[in-house]
């Protein structure tokens, strides 16, 4: 299956492994997908044959629930196997091939988001947008302060504010070391533009739906004022599926 999920090289191992699908589809060649125990892991099988990642590693998860979710994604394919409709498999590939071998750069990238996190940069106007940002983002900032011990500063506009090192260290300490949780956290961070939203999701403070809504406060406001962009909404739906896959990994692992 490498030709379907083969990834291009990149400096960041997570991004290298996340370059998932070429626009080449392959006919479904198996009757049934399943998840079976394989040592300490649970592997995906297609008619009892193992599935390999683009780098040739076994497609296997740390929990049965996660492996069964992966197998369900393969089972849901019809006449053609479409990687674009398999966000969980794409994420699993990226974690197995990218994060497991080199977790440090992935964790460092998440930490960099904390220094300029989305929820810390507020609009000065109009009033409706300010109120909406406050409603969605203040609880996250307060949670980071009360639970993580990270007292982050807020800024108005786009002028960079230097966050206290103690706050960054406190929030950074919550970044998981487990490759599956780290990979999922990284995915949510890049999809939302906020490491704080990703951490809140990982720790059960918010749901995937709440994280997505909070990440799109500005975009939703603009669409309400200027109209819908159907192409942007199509891309957004694709990204939302990726976030749901990452949330499933966080829940199952």
What are the pLDDT digits (tens) for 54-73? Answer: 999 999 999 999 999 999 99
pLDDT (mean) for 88-117: 97
Range 2-99: architecture per CATH: 2-Layer Sandwich (3.30)
Whole-number pLDDT of residue 13 = 56
Give the residue range(s) of CATH 3.30.2180.10 domains in the chain: 2-99
The answer, yes or no, to whether the previous bond of 126 is cis (omega within 30 of 0) is yes
Kindly report the pTM of this predicted structure.
0.89
Q: What is the DSSP letter of 42?
A: E
Give the residue range(s) of CATH 1.10.3580.10 domains in the chain: 103-252
Residue 91 has pLDDT above 90, yes or no: yes
Rounded to 5 degrees, φ, ψ at 205 are: -75, -35
Distance CA 116, CA 211 (A): 17
pLDDT (mean) for 174-198: 98
Going by pLDDT thresholds of 50, 70 and 90, the confidence category of residue 229 is confident
Domain 103-252 has CATH 1.10.3580.10: yes
Rounded to 5 degrees, φ, ψ at 207 are: -90, 170
Distance CA 169, CA 48 (A): 46
Whole-number pLDDT of residue 106 = 98
Q: By the 8 A CB rule, do 52 and 2 touch? A: yes
Provide the residue count of the chain. Answer: 253
Q: ∠173-179-181 over CA atoms, to 5°?
A: 65
């Amino acid at each position: 299956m490498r030709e379907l999920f083969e990834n291009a090289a990149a400096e960041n191992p997570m991004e290298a492994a996340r370059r998932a699908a070429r626009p080449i589809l392959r006919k479904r060649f198996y009757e049934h997908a399943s998840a079976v125990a394989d040592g300490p892991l649970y592997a995906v099988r297609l008619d009892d044959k193992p599935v390999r990642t683009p780098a040739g590693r076994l497609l296997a998860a740390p929990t049965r629930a996660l492996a069964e979710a992966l197998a369900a994604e393969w089972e849901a394919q019809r006449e053609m196997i479409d990687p674009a409709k398999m966000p969980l498999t794409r994420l699993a590939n990226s974690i197995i091939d990218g994060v497991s071998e080199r977790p440090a750069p992935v964790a460092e990238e998440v930490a960099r988001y904390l220094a300029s996190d989305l929820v810390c940069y507020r609009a000065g106007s109009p009033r409706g947008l300010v109120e909406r940002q406050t409603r969605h983002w203040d609880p996250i900032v307060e949670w980071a302060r009360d639970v993580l011990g990270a007292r982050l500063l807020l800024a108005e506009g786009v002028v960079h504010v230097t966050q206290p090192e103690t706050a960054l260290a406190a929030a950074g300490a919550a970044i998981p070391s487990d490759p599956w949780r780290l990979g999922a956290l990284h995915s949510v961070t890049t999809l939302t533009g906020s490491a704080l939203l990703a951490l809140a999701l990982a720790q059960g403070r918010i749901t995937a739906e709440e994280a997505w809504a909070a990440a799109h406060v500005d975009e939703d406001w603009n669409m309400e004022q200027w109209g819908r962009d159907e192409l942007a909404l199509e891309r957004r739906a694709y990204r939302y599926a990726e976030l749901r896959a990452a949330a499933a990994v966080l829940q199952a692992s």
